[in-house]
Amino acid sequence: MSDAKPHVGLIGLAVMGENLALNIARNGFPLVVYNRTTLRTEEYLAGPAANTSITGAATLPEFVAALEPPRQIILMVKAGVPVDAVLTELVPLLDPGDIVVDGGNSYFRDTERREAELARQGIRYVGMGVSGGELGALWGPSLMPGGPREAYDVLEPMLMAIAAKTRYGPCVTYIGPGGSGHYVKMIHNGIEYGDMQLIAETYDIMRTALGMSAPEIAEVFARWNGGKLASYLIEVTAEVLRFVDEETGRPIVDVILDAAEQKGTGRWTIESAMELSSPVPTIDAAVTARNLSGLRALRVEASEVLIGPTPPGGADEARAMLGGDSGADGAFAALESSLYFSKVSSYAQGMSLLAAASITYDWKLNLSEIARIWTGGCIIRADFLADIMRAYRDNPKLTNLLLDADIARQSDETVGGARRSIVAARSWGIPVPGTSSALDYFDTLRQISLPANLVQAQRDYFGAHTYLRTDRDGIFHTLWHGAEQPAEPVPVQELADV
């Protein structure tokens, strides 16, 4: 072993940090780690990091002194205030040219602020989305680094080495400047929320309308994982539904409280979608569903007061409603199509939001590359991502994923399943907000004529908000009230001249 000091350091030994450090060392990059609580560092060095090239430091000055400039320091600390707290202590110890990488789920605007602050001191700041949970961090995550290009170039050999690998290459690419890396990770998480909600709704139809047990539903998901839905989250779902609670002997999902929590990335996705007027209704539905699930006391109370539909029969009727004459196979095929269709619609929404952000913030995002680095390592990894990668490679200016010829064909083949699933769910009174929103997005996009003409008329009626016409140019306002109302609407310019 050489006496040269390592360039790479990692701060924050929670489970993601611990595993990422092991991954880095395993791939031939010796590194120094630091954790606020020294005991944790000592336990780590004596435990998982024993017999590796990982060394530790007890204080931040020691940590910085143990690294060779230009340093490459990865922060794996909780997003928000803790990142600023570490930076306040760390930055005065650094030299110009050093690189700091934030590998947490930071809000992209925080990343932009920190990048600007550190740039004033000559320090290069990289906001990097890291996806894949504990196992991904250890064996190969999907990495979404954004910030100064030249800093990425320095980091690239290490990032390529530690990232997940698929047939499409290592799951890392330079995302773009500023906070784009964390923005892309935020959208990844929003899509993750959407996928999870759509899967949960499909499970609910099987549980409630088809009367199936958790292990029976697990087998359906396991089967689907061998088909067009093949993905990590479908695999996880099958495993979770099979899992038996040791204490009660019941499927564990049946004893888990139905109140879903969240840490914020889904909500940020929606806030950004609203700000950029690029709707993501399925992600919106997923976040709203989590929030509603959390209102458990209210739901318990409402369940005794509010009355739902009388289901038009039992499991046989539900199967027939879903699959027509094709029995159980037809019903499951409809649900599989429904889930696939909804997923396509949801990804189309997420990718459109990425495209809108890319234009607004001038990030020049490569959507094909982003889909490629999501083919492995991350939580939303799925066979379907290869189709998205191909669609944006064939046409980088694609205005909406649903307009790609192959994706359009796939949605055409599966949309019927979504329509049938929603009808069945409604008949049994099962809420399917994610699936419904996915279909509504599709049905809205298809319309040449929406009822927004009426909304515009209403706005003009009560607020003189003006409107455009279909038959001529100009901005118009109608004098809706009183005898002076002219026969023709008045162009706003003319009104102003009066």
Give residues in contact with ligand 6PG (CB under 6 A).
105, 131-133, 189, 192, 261-263, 265, 378-379
DSSP 71: P
Whether the link from the prior residue into 70 is cis, omega within 30° of 0, is yes
* Longest CA span, the chain: 94
Task: Give the nearer residue to ligand 6PG in terms of CB position, either 189 or 411.
Answer: 189
Active site residue: 185, 201, 343, 369, which one? Answer: 185
The smaller minimum CB distance to ligand 6PG, of residues 318 and 351, is found at: 351
* Kind of pairing between the strands at 72-75 and 54-57: unpaired
Q: Are strands 99-102 and 124-131 parallel, antiparallel or unpaired?
A: parallel
CA distance 308 to 339: 24
> Would residue 185 show up in a list of annotated catalytic residues for this protein?
yes
Instruction: Mark whether 192 is an active-site residue.
Output: yes
Closest approach of Cβ 87 to ligand 6PG, in Å?
21
Nearest-approach distance from CB 172 to ligand 6PG, in angstroms: 14
Q: Least separation, in Å, of the C-beta of 282 and ligand 6PG?
A: 16
User: Which residue, 125 or 193, has its beta carbon nearer to ligand 6PG?
Assistant: 193
Residue placing its CB nearer to ligand 6PG in the complex, 379 or 401: 379
Q: How far apart are CA 326 and CA 26, in angstroms?
A: 52
Catalytic-role residue among 18, 192, 336, 369: 192
Q: Which is nearer to ligand 6PG, 262 or 291 (CB)?
A: 262
Residues 6 or more apart whose CB falls under 8 angstroms from that of 147 comprise 111, 115, 124, 125, 126, 127, 128, 177, 178, 181
72-75/8-11 β-pairing: parallel
DSSP for 435-463?
Answer: HHHHHHHHHHHT-S--THHHHHHHHHHHH
**CB of 59: closest distance to ligand 6PG in angstroms?**
29
3-state secondary structure of 422: helix
Q: How far apart are CB 197 and ligand 6PG at their closest, in Å?
A: 11
Torsion sign, CA atoms 413, 207, 309, 342: negative
Q: Give min distance, CB of 92 to ligand 6PG, in A.
A: 30
Taking the least distance from each CB to ligand 6PG, the nearer of 135 and 359 is 135
Q: Which is nearer to ligand 6PG, 35 or 106 (CB)?
A: 106
Q: How far is the CB of 189 from ligand 6PG (least distance, A)?
A: 4
- When the beta carbons of 123 and 143 are compared against ligand 6PG, the nearer one is 143
Q: Measured between alpha carbons, how far is 280 from 116 in angstroms, rounded to an integer?
A: 30
Q: What are phi and psi of 297, to 5 degrees?
A: -60, -45
Between the alpha carbon of residue 487 and those of residues 106, 367, 467, 474, the distances in Å are 57, 51, 16, 17
Question: What DSSP string describes 301-363?
Answer: HHHHH---PPPSSSHHHHHHHHHGGGHHHHHHHHHHHHHHHHHHHHHHHHHHHHHHHHHHHT-
* Closest residue to ligand 6PG using C-beta atoms: 131
Would you mind telling me the total number of residues written for the chain in this entry? Answer: 498
Minimum CB distance to ligand 6PG, residue 377 (Å): 9
CA distance 193 to 221: 18
Nearest residue to 480 (alpha-carbon basis) of 455, 461, 466: 461
How far apart, in Å, are the Cα atoms of 86 and each of 36, 109, 156, 408? 9, 18, 24, 48
The residues annotated with a catalytic role in the active site are 185, 192
